[in-house]
Structure 1
Amino acid sequence: MKLENKELIVKRPYKEVYKCEDAIVKVFEESHPKSDVFNEALITARIEETGLDIPKVKEVFQVDKKWAIAIEYKDGKTLEEMMESDKKNLEKYMEDFVDLQLEIHKKTSPLLKGMKDKLVRQINSLKELDATNRYELLTRLESMPKHNKVCHGDFNPSNVIVGKNGKMTVVDWAHATQGNASADAAMTYLLFALKDQDTADLYMKLFCQKSDTPRQYVQQWLPIVAGAQLAKDNELEKEFLMKWIDIIDYQ
Structure 2
Amino acid sequence: MEHNQIIGEGSTAQVMIFSPTEVVKLFHDHISDDLVEHEYTINKIILRSGLPVPEVRWSKPISGKRALIYRRVEGTTLTSLLSSQPKKTLHHLKRMAALQVSVHDKKLSTLPSQFGVLKQKIMSVKELNENDKKRIIKELEELPLGKCICHGDFHPDNILITKDETVIIDWCDATSGNPMADLARTLLILRYGGLKDRTSFLNFITILYVRKFLAMYYRKSYTRHYQFSSKALNRWMIPIAAARLSENLPDIEKKLLLSFISKKSKGS
Alignment TM-score > 0.5, same fold: yes
Aligned pair 1:118/2:117, yes or no? yes
Distance 1:60 1:162 in 2: 26
The DSSP-based 3-state class of the residue aligned with 1:245 is helix
The one-letter amino acid paired with 1:125 is S
Bigger drift between 231-240 and 54-63 goes to 231-240
Equivalent in the alignment of 1:16: 14
Aligned alpha-carbon RMSD (Å): 1.6
Equivalent in the alignment of 2:260: 244
Q: CA deviation at 1:178?
A: 0.6
Bigger drift between 182-191 and 70-79 goes to 70-79
The one-letter amino acid paired with 1:8 is I
Equivalent in the alignment of 2:91: 92
Equivalent in the alignment of 1:217: 232
Equivalent in the alignment of 1:182: 180
Distance 1:81 1:11, change over 3 A: closer
Bigger drift between 202-211 and 108-117 goes to 202-211
Q: CA deviation at 1:13?
A: 4.6
Distance 1:72 1:250, change over 3 A: farther
The one-letter amino acid paired with 1:181 is P
Q: CA deviation at 1:210?
A: 2.7
Q: CA deviation at 1:19?
A: 2.0
Q: CA deviation at 1:180?
A: 0.5
Aligned pair 1:43/2:46, yes or no? no
Aligned pair 1:199/2:199, yes or no? no
With normalisation by structure 1, the TM-score equals 0.93
Q: Deviations over 1:77-124 (max 9, x none)?
A: 112222222222222211111111011001111110010000000011
Q: How many residues matched? A: 248
Contact 1:126 1:231 in 2 (8 A): yes
The one-letter amino acid paired with 1:183 is A
With normalisation by structure 2, the TM-score equals 0.87
Distance 1:7 1:103, change over 3 A: same
Equivalent in the alignment of 1:77: 76
Unaligned 5+ residue runs, structure 1?
Answer: none
Distance 2:101 2:28 in 1: 34
Distance 2:64 2:18 in 1: 19
Distance 1:233 1:87 in 2: 28
Equivalent in the alignment of 1:172: 170
